[in-house]
A and B are shown apart, each in its own frame.
Chain A
Amino acid sequence: GENVEQHPSTLSVQEGDSAVIKCTYSDSASNYFPWYKQELGKRPQLIIDIRSNVGEKKDQRIAVTLNKTAKHFSLHITETQPEDSAVYFCAASLARAGNYQLIWGAGTKLIIKP
C-alpha cells in the first residue's frame, strides 16, 4: 500500500547549524506534502506545505524541497534555535477536489544542542 518513509528518526544538531529531514513517498500521484511540528506535550501544527506544481517553498528559516522524479521531499531548517526542538512529521496526499487523505511519516525528533 501507500506509505511514507521518514529519516532520520532522531536528529541532533548544534544550535545555529542547519537540520534536514527527508521523506520518501510511494504513490506517484501524490500532490500535496505538508510538514507538522509537535512540541513536547503539545498538538501537531502545520508549519509549511508544498504542492507538486512547485519544487521549493520557503518561509523564513524553514524551507521544503520536492523532487517528484525521485519521490522525495525534505524539510530544511537553517540557523536552528532552541525552540526548533520538537518532533516533525511529514505527510503525503493525493489532493483531489479539496479532499486530502494524508499518509504520515513516523516522525523525526529534532534536538537542538546549546
Chain B
Amino acid sequence: EAQVTQNPRYLITVTGKKLTVTCSQNMNHEYMSWYRQDPGLGLRQIYYSMNVEVTDKGDVPEGYKVSRKEKRNFPLILESPSPNQTSLYFCASRGQGAASTGELFFGEGSRLTVL
C-alpha cells in the first residue's frame, strides 16, 4: 500500500530535549516536505527536499533541521525544542517531473507537545 509513515504519532517532551520525528514514503517520490499545522494558521511549510541531499527552507524553518540521505526518508529534527513548537506536524511527498500530477500525499500527522 502506497503511504507516508510518520513516527511518533504523539509525543510529549520537555524544553531542550532533542527529538526526531521520522518520515518514510514507499512511493519513490523525489519531493518531500514538512508542515506544521496550528489553529487559524493553516499549513505552514518548515522544510522541503526536491531530492536526495537537496533541502530548502520553507516559511518557518527556525528551530528545525532536516536531512535527506535516502530518497524514502526525511526526518525532522528539533535540536532544542521550545513550547512554541507545540503543534501538529505533517510530512508529505509527491512525484516530480512530467509524470507528476502535483498531488501531495500526507502522513497521518505527529502531535508534539513541548512542556
Q: Are B96 and A106 in contact (CB under 8 A)?
A: no
Interface of B is mostly: loop
Task: Identify which of A6, A34, A101 contacts B103 (C-beta below 8 A).
Answer: A34
Binds A, one of B15-23, B68-76, B77-85, B106-114: B106-114
Q: Are A44 and B90 in contact (CB under 8 A)?
A: yes
Give residues 86-108 of B contacting A (CB, 8 Å): 90, 94-104, 106-108
Q: Are B102 and A95 in contact (CB under 8 A)?
A: yes
**Interface range for B:** 20 to 34
Instruction: Give chain A residues whose Cβ lies under 8 Å from the Cβ of B107.
Output: 43
Q: Given that A43-B90, A44-B43, A89-B43 are known contacts, is A100 also in contact with B100, CB under 8 Å in the complex?
A: yes
Q: Given that A98-B97, A99-B50, A100-B94 are known contacts, is A43 also in contact with B42, CB under 8 Å in the complex?
A: no
Shortest C-beta distance, A88 to chain B (Å), equals 11
Instruction: Give chain A residues whose Cβ lies under 8 Å from the Cβ of B94.
Output: 100
Instruction: Give chain A residues whose Cβ lies under 8 Å from the Cβ of B100.
Output: 98, 100
User: Chain A: which residue is nearest B42 at the CB level?
Assistant: A106
**Complex CA–CA separation, A66 to B102 (angstroms):** 18
Does B41 interact with chain A (Cβ within 8 Å)?
yes
Instruction: Give chain A residues whose Cβ lies under 8 Å from the Cβ of B50.
Output: 99
Q: Are B102 and A49 in contact (CB under 8 A)?
A: yes
Can you report 6 residue pairs joining A to B where beta carbons are below 8 Å apart?
Answer: A6-B42, A43-B90, A49-B102, A98-B99, A99-B96, A102-B104
Chain A residues near B (Cβ < 8 Å): 6, 9, 32, 34, 36, 42-46, 49, 89, 93, 95, 97-102, 104-107
